[in-house]
Amino acid sequence: RKEVEQDPGPFNVPEGATVAFNCTYSNSASQSFFWYRQDCRKEPKLLMSVYSSGNEDGRFTAQLNRASQYISLLIRDSKLSDSATYLCVVNEVAGTALIFGKGTTLSVSS
Amino acid sequence: EAQVTQNPRYLITVTGKKLTVTCSQNMNHEYMSWYRQDPGLGLRQIYYSMNVEVTDKGDVPEGYKVSRKEKRNFPLILESPSPNQTSLYFCASSFKIPDLGHLNYGYTFGSGTRLTVV
């Protein structure tokens, strides 16, 4: 069974902090990578895709390291509203399902 | 509004009483899928469908059935529910599974169905 592994946390940080999450995947043939955000008992929502060249969306930066098979998410200047569970997601082979990590919980406090 | 609609949002039922959770999407997505989410286990895929009349098992299909007679609908059927099927269920859809050159495609999820089987 191919796996996607994440540190479950929780990560407890103050407002304004920078926090980084890492995720590893076991299948070197994996093709597409995503970070999803899930608020308590709600549906997961796509946060951003992850490209080999790295990509940034406001305070969020995602990186992919294919050689080491890990994905990272960096959140700068954390806000209270960033408190959620962040899911690392991998598509192993085109045309098949997305594989979800179990999630990393972030709690931002004032 | 583009969305995936699941019904019901909450359901409490008794062991053995057949039930159906409906899922409908209005985005003309080819791919639809059902997941269950349990504490400590994350999201696990139950069944998926690549297109009309094409369905396949995911990681945890036992005790579930699905059908895909129309592109927009993908109901989840529990013929004889048991307490171990108590869970939070999500339906999801996508234009296509991400492949090379389409890296920005992901899932759109429904709001979830919290099922309790007693």
Count of CB atoms situated within 10 Å of the CB of A15: 12
- Cβ of B42 under 8 Å from any chain A Cβ? yes
Band the pLDDT of B103: cuts 50, 70, 90: very low
Dihedral pair phi/psi, residue A17, rounded to 5°: -75, 160
Min Cα distance B42 → chain A (Å) is: 4
% chain B with pLDDT above 70? 92
d(CA B65, CA B55): 10
A77: which residues sit within 8 A by CB, 6+ positions away? Answer: A16, A18, A59
Asked whether the predicted pLDDT for residue B24 surpasses 70, the reply is yes
- Cβ of B75 under 8 Å from any chain A Cβ? no
Subunit contact B106:A41, Cβ cutoff 8 A: no
pLDDT digits (tens, 9 = 90+) for A41-83: 899 999 998 878 888 999 999 999 999 999 999 999 999 999 9
Q: Which residues of B touch A95 (CB under 8 A)?
A: 50, 97, 99
- Annotate chain B with three-state secondary structure: CCCEEEECCEEEECCCCCEEEEEEECCCCCEEEEEEEECCCEEEEEEEEEECCEEEECCCCCCCEECCCCCCECCEEECCCCHHHCEEEEEEEECCCCCCCCCCCCCEECCCEEEEEC
DSSP secondary structure, A46-86, as one string: EEEEE-TT-EEETTEEEEEETTTTEEEEEE-S--GGG-EEE
Beta partners for residue A98, in sequence order:
A91
Count of CB atoms situated within 10 Å of the CB of A24: 17
Q: Residue A67: what pLDDT?
A: 92
Contact yes or no for A88/A101 (Cβ under 8 A): yes
Average pLDDT over residues B82-98: 88
A81: which residues sit within 8 A by CB, 6+ positions away? Answer: A108
Contact yes or no for A106/A86 (Cβ under 8 A): yes
- Cβ of B61 under 8 Å from any chain A Cβ? no
Contact yes or no for A36/A45 (Cβ under 8 A): yes
pLDDT digits (tens, 9 = 90+) for B51-66: 899 999 998 999 999 9
